[in-house]
Amino acid sequence: MSAFAAVLRKDLRLELRSGESTIALLALSLLVMVVLVFALDASRVRGVDTASGALWVAMVFSGMLGAGRALLAERDNDCMRGLLLSPLDPATLYAAKLAATLIFMSVAEVGAVVLMVLFFNLEFNTALLRVAPILMLGALGFAAVATLLSAITGRTRAGDMLLPILAVPMFVPALIAGVKASGAALSGAPFAAMSDWLKIMIAFDVLFVSAGYLLFEHVVGQD
């Protein structure tokens, strides 16, 4: 836990000094919301299904950027090699990077929810509290798969292009479940209406986190 805390504290301290990741994620969420509001039919802008879809699109884009930023510091000056030569367990390094990505995404999600309410003419009510755990499940799953894939694509020349190509198709089932569950929560539907979707999201979270924890050592291993 001390090694995990040290890596996570380092990433958060760098972010507090610069604020680059948080500002970039919030700006990207704002851009996605603005584009979707103008692209969609005005008669459907008030629909909760449209709003939940826009929210998850913003989350996916911010998640890809957040995962890339979390591993960016280790790509310079061969810092990853230094971390691997230290007594730090690679699985612990993955857990710390996952936590940093999740924190960055959570900040962006708060901003995206506020923008969703304003742009899609919704209300600030208890329905947003029901959406919060759904978004956290989605953020955890996407952060897990994006962090692992970011470590893979970061070693290639076209890494920034490969990350969305690899991450988004893998996350599509959980993305569909998240959109359906969020729409049900925003519309005030009972818990039974979204329980099946939540089970799918939990299953994918367990799969993605376990795969990243077990495979990260082989992904970042030096040739």
Q: 108-129, pLDDT tens digit by residue?
A: 888 888 888 888 878 888 888 8
219 is written with which tokens? 């992904």
Q: Are 73 and 11 in contact (CB under 8 A)?
A: yes
Average pLDDT over residues 176-194: 87
What's residue 203's pLDDT? 93
Confidence of residue 223 (pLDDT cuts 50, 70, 90): very low
**Cα–Cα separations (whole angstroms), residue 39 to 9, 32, 34:** 40, 10, 9
26 is written with which tokens? 């919030």
100 is written with which tokens? 């940093």
Instruction: Give the chain's domain count.
Output: 1
126 is written with which tokens? 């208890």
Confidence of residue 158 (pLDDT cuts 50, 70, 90): low
What's residue 106's pLDDT? 85
Kindly report the pTM of this predicted structure. 0.84
What's residue 129's pLDDT? 87
Q: Which domain holds residue 7?
A: 2-220
Q: Is the pLDDT of residue 28 over 90?
A: no
- The residue with tokens 């470590």 is 151
152 is written with which tokens? 């893979």
57 is written with which tokens? 């699109």
The 3-class SS string of 160-202 reads: HHHHHHHHHHHHHHHHHHHHHHHHHHHCCCCHHHCHHHHHHHH
Using a 10 angstrom Cβ sphere, with 0-12 exposed, 13-18 middle and 19 or more buried, the burial of residue 145 is buried
Q: Is the pLDDT of residue 222 over 60?
A: no
